């Protein structure tokens, strides 16, 4: 790489870092309140061990004041496969727990501590723990939903598809896809072959990305959209639970075309799949700005509606949940959207 190229790379990273700092400062009023909840609420059980590997930990968000077993969301957070952390799910955990839904935020090894195969292995182990142990925390093992966001949506989708394929062979795992009622993918990427150049242009350089994904020869293997198109896995696709995808049309980090193409591949194979596109929403709007805004959160309402439709009793019990209050002033949210590096 020439000196001029190094200068351009250095400038790009400095610019991105400064944008991230400004973005975080603008959202800080909300972050402080969520952090307080995360560390001091009795409803949050942090760092429950689910495996022997580093970062095999998960956080539990337990609904308060309800009786009986609760529906469960197993959540896999994003973070560009490099900075993912279970704590990023605190806001989602809080919002869903308010509606009587128990949430398990699964941590996993990030690069360079692990590569994509390690991440999928960790998430599979975390899902297994939830399926087999959640009843002891008040969760219903018959009502488990998988949710992934950004890179977490990709990892969760890989885990789900891999598990379905293994169940068509000599499966020896400790959980089954039939234990999951539905999978929700938020702003995910599902075809790595289309994303190498896209991420390179945005600063996640090709050499690093290929290292995360275990080389160019592994891109197809870890591309759920490509895998479900293979004739050999047709029977595996039929095992998949209902799949519901969410994406903002103004997402520059992970193009909404990723969810559209994955939906098309799933439907061509006969899978039950739906897509909700949110006009003008960015990569972080759906997961951060909208929940911090308070009031109605359309994506959250869609997730809750699916879970409630599977359990009319839960719907009746939580119709009176108060509207979420605003955590960040609107002008700060709008500024954050303008400076966001995502």
Q: Annotated catalytic residue: which of 107, 251, 290, 311?
A: 251
Q: CB burial class (10 A; 0-12, 13-18, 19+) of residue 218? A: middle
**316-335 burial by CB neighbour count: b if 16+ within 10 A, else e?**
ebbeeeeebeebbeeebbeb
Known catalytic residue: 223?
Answer: no
Known catalytic residue: 251?
yes
145 pairs with which residues across the strands? 73, 182
- Give the tokens for residue 320: 């009176």
Full DSSP string of 24-89? HHHTHHHHHHHHHHHHH-TTEEEEEE--SSTT-EEEEEPPSS--SPEEEEEEE--STTTS--GGGG
- Tell me the two tokens of residue 208: 């690093």
Check 59, 124, 128, 150 and give the catalytic one.
Answer: 150
Say whether 150 is catalytic: yes
Q: For the chain, what is the total number of helices (H) and then of strands (E)? A: 14, 8
Look at residues 15, 27, 2 and name the one whose alpha carbon lies nearest to residue 333.
27
Which residue in 52, 157, 43, 147 sits closest to 105, CA to CA?
Answer: 147
CA distance 149 to 287: 8
Catalytic residue selected from 59, 107, 223, 283: 283
- Short-list 8, 18, 22, CA closest to 201: 8
CA 179/CA 162 separation, integer angstroms: 15
Which residues are catalytic, by number? 150, 251, 283
């Amino acid at each position: 790489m020439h000196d001029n190229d190094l200068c351009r790379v250095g400038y790009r990273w400095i610019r991105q870092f400064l944008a991230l700092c400004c973005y975080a400062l603008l959202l800080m009023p909300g972050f402080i309140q969520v952090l307080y909840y995360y560390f001091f609420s009795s409803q949050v059980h942090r760092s429950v061990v689910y495996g022997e590997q580093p970062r095999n930990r998960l956080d539990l968000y337990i609904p308060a004041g309800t009786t009986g077993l609760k529906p469960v969301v197993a959540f896999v957070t994003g973070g560009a496969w490099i900075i993912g952390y279970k704590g990023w799910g605190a806001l989602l955990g809080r919002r869903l727990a308010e509606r009587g839904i128990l949430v398990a935020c699964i941590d996993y090894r990030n690069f360079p501590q692990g590569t994509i195969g390690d991440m999928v292995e960790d998430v599979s182990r975390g899902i297994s723990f939830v399926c087999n142990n959640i009843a002891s925390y008040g969760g219903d093992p018959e009502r488990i939903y998988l949710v992934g966001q950004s890179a977490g949506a990709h990892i969760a989708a890989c885990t789900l598809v891999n598990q379905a394929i293994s169940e068509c062979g000599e499966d020896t795992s400790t959980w089954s896809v039939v234990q999951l009622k539905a999978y929700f993918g938020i702003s995910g990427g599902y075809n790595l072959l289309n994303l190498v150049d896209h991420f390179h242009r945005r600063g996640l350089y090709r050499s690093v990305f290929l290292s995360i994904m275990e080389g160019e020869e592994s891109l197809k293997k870890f591309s759920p959209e490509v895998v479900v198109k293979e004739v050999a896995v047709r029977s595996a696709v039929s095992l998949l639970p209902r799949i519901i995808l969410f994406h903002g049309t103004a997402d520059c980090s992970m193009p909404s075309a990723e969810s559209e193409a994955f939906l098309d591949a799933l439907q061509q194979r006969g899978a039950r799949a739906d897509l909700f596109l949110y006009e003008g929403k960015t990569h972080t709007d759906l997961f951060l700005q909208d929940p911090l805004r308070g009031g109605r959160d359309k994506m959250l309402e869609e997730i809750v509606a699916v879970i409630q439709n599977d359990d009319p009793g839960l719907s009746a019990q939580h119709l009176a949940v108060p509207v979420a209050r605003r955590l960040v002033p609107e002008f700060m949210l709008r500024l954050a959207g303008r400076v966001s590096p995502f």
